[in-house]
Amino acid sequence: MLQRILRPLFAGLAVVALASQAIAADVSSIVNQVSQIQYSEYLGSSLYTYNGADRGIGGGQHDLARTNIYNAFSSFGLNTYLDPFQFNGNTYNNVVGVHQGKVHPDQAYIVGAHYDSVANPGADDNASGTAGVMEAARVLSQYDFDATLIFIGFDREEQGLIGSTAYVDKHTTDDILGMISLDMIAYNPAGANKANVYGRSTSNPVKNALANAISTYGNLIPVIGGDVPASDHAPFESAGFQAALLIEYGWGSNPCYHKASDSTGTANYIDFAYATSMTRGTVGYLAAAAGPMVPEPGSLACVGAGSMWLVLMIRRRAKDRA
């Protein structure tokens, strides 16, 4: 008798398991849209990372890069706007692109990177992260999600997280479920193929989910660390939101850090494949977190029929026993 009751139960669970596989497959199909060619185009052309370029305060390429980020977000169909804030008596702008959720639009996941530099080309710090945000926006904007996805290019990070702090100050009551800061993701000395994930212990759920996505979709080895409040995730954590920093494993030994040589013109420096893998992991995290992803219609029918069959069989067995 027990076997007769359990057989339909196990069959129903198998249907649910197949549906879960379909959902995972959908995330993989989204991640597979991430393009190293497109990423390299953003980093190498849109963000002015050649020798002699300057995206710092008053730099000749700062506003040009900002415009290219804005135009890219707009071209993806995002609700795009310049978000102004004051710094030293001057007005600067974060660039924000919003992809509204279909079921829970008030719930949001954010991925951001700062586009300003320290009076240099800033190829790794932080055009690399900004290009990752742009590529993530390009890919994810093609799909619908339950929750809202927000893509941000922050300004004035190098003066003390000014832009991200200003954004958080305006959104302290928002339902932000997770924030990822991409900051220096393209220097990969000796092909270490590792990635650091930093954040406070209170952000462990987001950190662990991001680390898992970095491993699963980026094929990199995640190294989870503690609080490193030196990037644009920090103001979000200070405001009580879960946030994490994704940064290259070799950032502490980067020979071009804050130097004119932080350029795509420096030989054997920028690892485009590695940065694309970092981006793939980020896209995987966001696609899974903002879901759940909806299986194909055939899978939905299978899940619905299987679930209904399971319920009816259990009810029937219970009735027979009574």
Task: Provide the CATH number for the domain around residue 45.
Answer: 3.40.630.10
Query: Lowest-confidence range among 21-25, 30-34, 212-216?
Result: 21-25
Same domain flag for 2 and 81: no
- Count how many domains the chain has: 2
E strand map for the chain: 79-87, 90-99, 104-114, 147-154, 175-182, 194-198, 221-224, 243-248
For residue 3, count other CB atoms closer than 10 A to its CB. 6
Which long-range CB contacts under 8 A does 209-213 form with residues at least 24 apart?
Answer: 209/178, 209/285, 209/288, 209/289, 210/180, 210/244, 210/246, 210/281, 210/282, 210/285, 212/285, 213/281, 213/282, 213/284, 213/285, 213/288
Same domain flag for 138 and 270: yes
Same domain flag for 52 and 120: yes
Whether residue 236 has pLDDT greater than 80: yes
Whether residue 198 has pLDDT greater than 60: yes
SS3 of the chain: helix, strand, coil, percent, to 5:
50, 20, 30
Same domain flag for 211 and 309: no
The band of 83, judged by pLDDT with boundaries at 50, 70 and 90, is very high
Same domain flag for 312 and 269: no
Give residue-wise pLDDT tens across range 36-59: 999 999 999 999 999 999 999 999
Q: Who has greater pLDDT, 291 or 308?
A: 291
Same domain flag for 145 and 12: no
Same domain flag for 168 and 27: no
The whole domain housing 312 covers 1-31+296-322
> What is the rounded average pLDDT for all residues in the chain?
88
Same domain flag for 208 and 318: no
Same domain flag for 229 and 212: yes
Burial of 158 (C-beta count, 10 Å sphere; 0-12/13-18/19+): buried
Same domain flag for 301 and 286: no
Same domain flag for 88 and 20: no
Stretch 196-222: mean pLDDT, rounded?
Answer: 98
Same domain flag for 13 and 109: no
Cα separation of 34 and 138, whole Å? Answer: 9
